[in-house]
Structure formats: C-alpha cells, structure tokens
Amino acid sequence: KGKTRKMKDSGVEWIGEIPEDWEIVKIKNVYKNPKEIVGNKVNLFKRLSLTLRGVIKRPKEDAKGLQPERFEGYQILKKGQLVFKLIDLENINTSRVGLSPYVGLVSPAYIILDNEKASKYGYYFFLSMWHRQIFNQLGGDGVRSSIGPKDLLNFPYVLASYDEQQKIANFLDEKV
C-alpha cells in the first residue's frame, strides 16, 4: 500500500494511462468469437435475452420486441461467455454487454466472446466502455450504426496479468 505505480500512456484516448506492466492488445488476442448456430437442436435450449438487468431467461413465445418466426438460426450462448448487442448504437438506453449465467439461445445479431479466465474482468472492462458510450463513438455515423464481430475483435483491450484481472474483478464484485 502507499507505493505509487509507474504509469504509461496507453496510446488510446478513451483508455488513458495504464500501469507500466499492463499492455494494450487487440480483443482477438484474448477472446475467441464462437458462433454456434443451434439448428435442429433448438428444443434443447431455453431462450436468453440481453437486458439492462443482464442476461435473463425469456420464454420463446414472449412477444416483447422483435420476434423471430423460428429459433433455428439462433446461436448458443454458454455460461461464462460474454455477449454483446452492438446494433442501433445511437440508442443509449439499451444494454450492450452481459456475462451469461446460463446456457441458452441468443439472437444471431449478438456477438459472443469466449475466454473463461478473462470473462469477469472483461465484463467490467466492456461495461465501462458501455457506460462511457465508447461503443457509440466507435460504431460509425449511420442512423442504425452497429459494430460487427470483426471490428469488435480489433478494438484495443487493456491486458493485466490474470492474477491482477481476478483481483480487479473480485474488488468490483464487492463494490457493485
């Protein structure tokens, strides 16, 4: 305690200074982007939805919001994976990122990132991006601006040691 860490400029405006031993990498260096379409196994899974309250279970017959005719094109989200809704970025009152406590089906428009070791820290990192409206700035100027998986995977990510990531996530779990 009390000793100040040596900091360095991250080189990314919206990230600012970071501890000297941390690095900036591309998200794709840390996470995989699985897209496992459910197909004919649709009845084995519950439907999930990313909301402002996080990832929740939702009945397949729930009529709120846009409704698919069928769920065969939906993708499988697994417990511990991060899920992103990076469409219609000008709408600042919608959720953008969740950490799934369940296995289930999500819209094919969602982006899934997978790295069990990094997910909890990553969730807070991406949540902070959302709260500061960073996604909105990175999504281009279209009326329905969005960010696709390729763009997301190339964004900068602050990489601390896994040990430190765990400590940060645990600290935030207690505070949030």
pLDDT of residue 114: 98
Q: What is the CA radius of gyration of the chain?
A: 17
**Predicted pLDDT at 103:** 97
The region of weakest confidence among 25-34, 57-66, 110-119 is 57-66
Q: List, as one string, the DSSP characters of 147-164.
A: --HHHHHHSEEEE--HHH
What is the model's pTM? 0.91
Q: What is the mean pLDDT of residues 4-18?
A: 95
Read off φ and ψ for residue 135, nearest 5 degrees. Answer: -55, -40
Spatial separation of the C-alpha atoms in residues 154 and 157, rounded to whole Å: 9
- The answer to whether 52 touches 95, Cβ cutoff 8 Å, is yes
pLDDT grade, residue 89 (50/70/90)?
A: confident
